[in-house]
Chains A and B, each alone.
Chain A
Amino acid sequence: MTCEDFRVRLTAFSLGELEQTELLAAREHVAACSHCASQLLLDRQLTALLRASTVPLPLQTREAVRGALRAERLRAEAEAEQSLRKGPGRPAASSRRPTRRRHWIALAAAMLACAAVVAASLLVVPAPDPGSPLAAAWGSYHAKGQDGLGTPDDATAERLFAVLGPAARTPDLAGFGLQKQGWEARDLAGHLAAVAEYRDDAGGRVTLMRWRGELPRVAKAPDGSGLKAYRWGRHVSYWWRADSIVWCLIGTIDQDQLYKIAGHLGGES
């Protein structure tokens, strides 16, 4: 084996990936050639450096991943329980998340199909289960009243982004005449939610909440698609789910305007 032969096989040799005959020839060559022996040493020094260059895992990442795994287990257990209740004849709902495109198509279809119904009146649905994120969202919306929100500290913001990803960003709704008042993290029945508050010039209030989880099953859109609507007194809300994140928009502003915002955010989320 020549030095050139050895040079092109250096990596395979040091990884033990050479065939037997080539391996023996390479061993013989490196034992007799100081230049190639030093090249082999350099290669070993390099791999030692590479092995030592690992990036430490931040604590918050470990916690975020473990939290997401716990949430996934709870979700799967709830789904299995629901499936049992439905009986053996009906398959459990798919956990496969919709693609962005499918979601957008579903939302667009929902908007068209719902338009007439929504314009007249919102769905009449039973009260949400106490302890569900839906009930907690409504509860926290009313509890907060007209108080504006501040800005979460860095650690909380970091956790929100870790759990929700891009959905944690507070969307700009200035195009709909709404000004941001603040945002915060909120615990909704054990779900970490990002909550943003908006006001319009007339004093109308809009709250946007997002958390990782399932869409509550208290209401169904007329066409069975993802967009859901709910009303509590003069407060109207729209719900949808995209990329495993539940979005909830509640407000006192004009119903049609809120519906447009839901369509706008649904297209983005």
Chain B
Amino acid sequence: MDLEGFEAAAVPHMNALYDAAIRLAGDQATAQDLTQETFLRALRSFGTFEPGTNCRAWLLRIQYNLFCTQYRRGRRMPLVWLDDGEADPTLELPSHEPGPEEQTVRELDREAVRRAIARLPEDFRMAVILVDINGLSCAEAATVMDVPRGTILSRLHRARRRLEAMLLPELGRVQADDL
């Protein structure tokens, strides 16, 4: 078992996997479960990962399959609801340090964006998670979701138009240096 290779290639994507998990599962405890199980499965099948390909896409595919087969059907019993807890200090932070007011506005914006994404149908949401949040190409996202590339493009287009309608106030506050 090449744990060191796995540590180097896969573990840096844990933030992204948890982010996708919580958007899919909807609560922190299930997201943690899903993330943990994804990494265990990935470790066991790390021999099938092709070096040089997109490791995050490979992990997201494992996670999405796991979600579809084991979590989506509500097979998991509801767990205790946990507080957000302390955020990981190793997370990447914005390059500049906004003042408290700007930080508050931005956090409110982030929360509004998360809520809006959560309101999307699951297929649309997953396309947004893969391409817009995780930067996968449409072809990679198509592999993860096992659908044609055109389907991903169509889902993304419709998802973005819905999100635009839901997030007009927040869109007005996006600054030029964010683009």
Contact with B along A42-55 (1 / 0, CB 8 A): 11111111111111
A58 touches B36 (CB 8 A): no
B35 touches A65 (CB 8 A): yes
B88 touches A59 (CB 8 A): yes
The answer to the question of A105 belonging to the interface, with a C-beta cut-off of 8 Å to chain B, is no
Some 6 contacts from A to B, beta carbons below 8 A apart, are A46-B164, A52-B178, A68-B40, A69-B40, A161-B82, A162-B36
Which residues of A from 1 to 48 have beta carbons under 8 Å from B?
Answer: 8, 10-12, 15, 17, 42-48
B15 touches A58 (CB 8 A): no
Which residues of A from 172 to 194 have beta carbons under 8 Å from B?
Answer: none
Q: Of the 9-residue stretches B48-56, B60-68, B72-80, which lies at the interface with chain A?
A: B72-80
The answer to the question of A127 belonging to the interface, with a C-beta cut-off of 8 Å to chain B, is no
A10 to chain B, nearest CB (A): 7
B124 to chain A, nearest CB (A): 12
CB-defined contacts of B8 to chain A, threshold 8 Å: none
- Pick from A48, A50, A73, A95: contact of B179, CB under 8 Å: A48
B114 touches A46 (CB 8 A): no
The answer to the question of A108 belonging to the interface, with a C-beta cut-off of 8 Å to chain B, is no
Contact with A along B14-25 (1 / 0, CB 8 A): 111011001100
The answer to the question of A113 belonging to the interface, with a C-beta cut-off of 8 Å to chain B, is no
Where the two chains meet, the residues of B that have a C-beta atom closer than 8 Å to any C-beta of A are 1, 3, 6-7, 11, 14-16, 18-19, 22-23, 28-29, 31-33, 35-36, 39-40, 43-44, 76-77, 79-80, 82, 84-88, 91, 106, 109-110, 113-114, 117, 128, 131-133, 138, 153, 156-157, 160, 163-164, 167, 170-171, 174, 178-179
A256 to chain B, nearest CB (A): 28
Q: Is the interface of A mostly helix, strand, loop or mixed?
A: helix
A53 touches B117 (CB 8 A): yes
A65 touches B36 (CB 8 A): yes
B44 to chain A, nearest CB (A): 6
Closest 4 CB pairs of A and B: A56-B87, A53-B113, A11-B157, A58-B85
Nearest to B3 among chain A residues (CB) is A73
B160 touches A43 (CB 8 A): yes
Q: How far is the CA of A44 from the CA of B163 in the complex (A)?
A: 12
CB-defined contacts of A15 to chain B, threshold 8 Å: 131, 138, 153, 156
- Pick from B76, B82, B109, B156: contact of A165, CB under 8 Å: B76
CB-defined contacts of A77 to chain B, threshold 8 Å: 1
A12 touches B153 (CB 8 A): yes
A55 touches B19 (CB 8 A): yes
Nearest to B177 among chain A residues (CB) is A48
CB-defined contacts of A50 to chain B, threshold 8 Å: 113, 117, 128, 132-133, 163
A57 touches B14 (CB 8 A): yes
CB-defined contacts of B15 to chain A, threshold 8 Å: 54, 56-57
B43 to chain A, nearest CB (A): 6
CB-defined contacts of B133 to chain A, threshold 8 Å: 50-51, 53-54
B88 touches A62 (CB 8 A): yes
CB-defined contacts of B132 to chain A, threshold 8 Å: 47, 50-51
Q: How far is the CA of A104 from the CA of B57 in the complex (A)?
A: 35
- Pick from A45, A58, A165: contact of B84, CB under 8 Å: A58
